[in-house]
Structure 1
């Protein structure tokens, strides 16, 4: 079972970790990462970044434009856009760059998942109302079996986090704590 499962670590980049509280989000992610590697679960990273001149940023996309204006330079090689060192990829673990909020949008994620024969996704990331929600909705439409790790997904708005985990996500995914997910791997 585990060889058809991938743990997606999405948008856990230096800038986002700093904005979302740092160590609090990293600890459950580190636990999930160790357990995934130990139990034969593939680990795939997704990071958002743009290329010089922002050709991927359409002025009609209010959210992406707002992020660009708020954050400034978010280029692929910018240090603040790299995967946080607390969950650094090992050699051979794919790092996908995407250009929108969903991990699938503008990326090679679906191709990589099909190539690895993955049918089950465990979703984590920053932010719950952004990349986790968008990816969950698209992955559900693509018929993946889904789990969301509730304590390894960060959201600044506590009410939104609660609503998504308690009311929205359960209709499309199993919602578990990292500890519960790790226990299910044995």
Structure 2
């Protein structure tokens, strides 16, 4: 349940890019994109920062480490890393390219948010248990209030999505629907 949204809050949308939204997900991706766009509109209306995070793991050291799951280590094809057409960022938005699950790891995002006195981030995007959770864990460690837009995120398996919502997110922040978050945004 959301108790408050700080007046210095930023929206952080994770990996809403062509190659990621093309994966099969447990919730209709068009609904996730629509709700993410609604959040973006509310943040723009309230003159609050919007952060668009994309992922490009090509050349990242972790992709070459041993693991059981197969990793794609090839460069992304043309257009794969482009923001999905349903998301319409503004030139004034903050654009971050990450190489890992966390939008904070070696991206400068923390410094950018600190320059703007941000104390709270609202998270949405794909995938719940990967980029969203990875970013949330880092945000929590850095002392941000974290708010999860639970109907503006999805995953590739229901088990992974539900695990994050049920066990991890309550330890990190507060969760609510897009509608409830927008109701709490100062000036929206």
TM-score range for the pair, normalised by the shorter chain length? 0.7 to 0.9
Q: What does residue 12 of structure 1 align with?
A: 16
Output one character per residue of 1:121-149: Cα deviation in whole Å (capped at 9) or x when no partner. Answer: 00111100101111111111110011010
Q: Name the counterpart of 1:86.
A: 86
Decide whether the 8 Å contact of 1:148 with 1:176 is kept in 2. Answer: yes
Q: Structure 2 matches for 1:133-172, cutoff 5 A?
A: 133-172=133-172
Alpha-carbon distance, 1:88 to partner: 2.6
**Does structure 2 retain, via aligned residues, the 8 Å contact 1:2–1:41?**
no
| Between 173-182 and 84-93, the greater mean CA deviation after superposition | 84-93
Question: Which residue of structure 1 aligns with residue 117 of structure 2?
Answer: 117
Distance 1:57 1:82 in 2: 23
Task: Work out the CA distance in 1 between the residues paired with 2:141 and 2:88.
Answer: 30
The equivalent of 2:65 in structure 1 is 60
Deviation at 1:168, TM superposition (A): 1.8
Which structure's relative contact order is higher, taking Cα pairs within 8 Å and 6+ residues apart?
2
TM-score (norm 2): 0.85
Aligned length in residues: 178
Runs of 4+ in 1 over 6 A off after TM superposition: none
Residue ranges of structure 2 left out of the alignment (5+ in a row): none
Structure 1 residues without counterparts, runs of 5 or longer: none
Q: Which structure carries more helix by proportion? A: 1
Q: Indicate the residue corresponding to 2:127 in structure 1.
A: 127
Q: CA deviation at 1:82?
A: 1.2
Whether the 8 Å contact between 1:3 and 1:42 is mirrored in structure 2 is no
- Taking structure 1 as the reference length, the TM-score comes to 0.86
Residues 129 and 155, structure 1, Cα contact 8 Å, conserved in 2: yes
Tell me by how many angstroms 1:24 deviates: 2.4
Write the distance in 2 (CA, Å) between the matches of 1:92 and 1:10: 17
| DSSP 3-state at the match of 1:12 | coil
